[in-house]
Amino acid sequence: MSKAFSSEVGAGSREENASRQKSDYDVAVVGGGLLGSAIAWGLGRLGKKVAVLDEGDITKRASRANFALVWVQSKGLGMPAYTVWTVQASQAWSRLASELKQQTGLDVCLQQNGGFHLTLGDDEFGQRTDLVKRMHNQAGAADYKMEMLSASDVKKSLPLIGPEVSGGSYCPLDGHVNSLRTFRAFHTGFRAFGIDYFPERPVSAISKSGGEFRLTTPKGELRAAKIVLAAGNANQTLAPMVGLFAPMGPTRGQIVVTERTMPFLPHPLTTIRQTDEGTVMIGDSKEDELDDRALKHSISAVMTDRAQRMFPHLSRLNVIRSWAGIRVMPQDGFPIYDQSETHPGAFVACCHSGVTLASNHAFEIARMVAQGALEPELVGAFSASRFGGAGAANDSGY
């Protein structure tokens, strides 16, 4: 699968147009986080009448645990199609940032001049070198130009690295954004496109009759010709209601944020980035827990210790915020995009990389939903049928 996923938007079938006339909405998107917001915005951009049903800010949004990276390197080992999809998203991000700013006036502060993954000591450098080779050797993977650099070469771009840094990998397609402002921009765009956002409306039941979907919420029923399940970890419960399968393995992550400091990090790292506001974010933990009410200080200590070893001057900064968040994670770490055979017009989208893939969700997934079908290359690569088990047979086959 070397080609990008793209085609023109169709006019819609006669059956679809008839369903639209009697439904409240062309499409109901279940989930108002970054994933659902990107898809809904993209559908509104195509002139569709869209409703977003969301639990609201009381929900445990994955956005609270994201690191705001637009990241390519290291993604796709074991699934070459994911490298193609990720590179396409990275290349489309400048277009997304430009359209959001033009529409809403909000600058999402996209910086895309390459990113690093630094290693400490010879063993880590060797392990990273091996990973880069394995990524490059995958048949069908995209060329994401990831390369290994020595410590002296890294120092040319990151002069404040510490003596323990042995080098690292670099990818010119990597970058980062202000993810919270991106989220705000999507929701600001909702108003311009006439998209209806309904907070505090978690969906408890979905049925289909008369060519339309009926979604049950605490504040009444809503009808739509099509639905997109983009509710993160809740997709695991919602998907079977429309003959789909979304096996999730959610994880917890912790993030530490320092006080503002001088600009010193012109490139983001896998685990450290300096925001457009001057603070430093640190975070690379992964725990098999679903309780985000408490922090494990031992984990924060390891993260901050590694950060200081990479950039010794960070030891002088105060930590101003630290929190844990539940991340969306399909069981194998790769995205799930599917459409239902038993309930035509129902789609599901699950992914861990909601920031990186936001451009694909806004431009490509939204276009496919508007057309009424996911493209065969996408379904063939990312269908949940790859997991086998109950529910997968009903599908159309980080």
Res. 20: pLDDT tops 60 = no
Does the pLDDT value for residue 2 go beyond 60? Answer: no
Residue 34 lies in a domain: yes
At 50 the three-state DSSP class reads: strand
Examine the pLDDT at 138 and tell me if it is beyond 80.
yes
Contact by Cβ (8 Å): 26, 196: no
Instruction: Give the tens place of pLDDT for each residue, 342-395.
Output: 999 999 999 989 999 999 999 999 999 999 999 999 999 999 999 985 444 333
Read off the pLDDT of residues 88-113 as tens digits, 9 standing for 90 and up. Answer: 999 999 999 999 999 999 999 999 99
- Residue 152 placed within a domain: no
Strands 251-258 and 319-327: antiparallel
The verdict on residue 389 lying in a domain is yes
Domain span including residue 359: 14-66+180-248+334-394
Q: Where are the alpha helices (DSSP H) in the chain?
A: 14-22, 34-45, 80-104, 121-136, 151-157, 179-193, 235-238, 297-310, 358-360, 366-371, 376-382
Predicted structure pTM score? 0.90
The answer to whether residue 37 sits within a structural domain is yes
CA 291 to chain centre: 21
Tens of pLDDT, residues 111-121: 999 999 999 99
The sign of the dihedral angle between the CA atoms of 329, 330, 333, 334 is negative
Evaluate whether residue 45 is within a structural domain: yes
Give me the helix-helix angle, 80-104 and 179-193, nearest 10°: 60
Please report the pLDDT score of residue 389 as a whole number. Answer: 56
Domain-embedded: residue 229: yes
Q: Report the pLDDT value the prediction gives residue 52, as an integer from 0 to 100.
A: 98
- Is residue 195 assigned to a domain? yes
35-86 confidence digits (pLDDT tens): 999 999 999 999 999 999 998 765 555 556 678 999 999 899 999 999 999 9
Number of structural domains the chain divides into: 1
Kind of pairing between the strands at 115-120 and 165-171:
antiparallel
Query: Hey, is 315 helix, strand or coil?
Result: helix
Q: What's the mean pLDDT when you consider all of the chain?
A: 89
Q: Which pLDDT score, from 0 to 100, does residue 87 have?
A: 96
**Residue 348's domain is classified under what CATH number?**
3.50.50.60
Residue 98 within any structural domain of the chain = no
Average pLDDT over residues 177-188: 95
130's CB contacts (< 8 A; 6+ apart) are: none
Q: For residue 11, what pLDDT is reported?
A: 35
Task: Of 372, 22, 52, 375, give the one whose Cα is nearest residue 203.
Answer: 52
249-282 pLDDT tens trace: 878 888 999 999 999 999 999 999 999 999 999 9
Taking the C-alpha atoms of 296, 298, 300 and 305 in order, what is their torsion angle to the nearest 10 degrees? 180
Of all residues in the chain, the percent with pLDDT exceeding 90 is 77
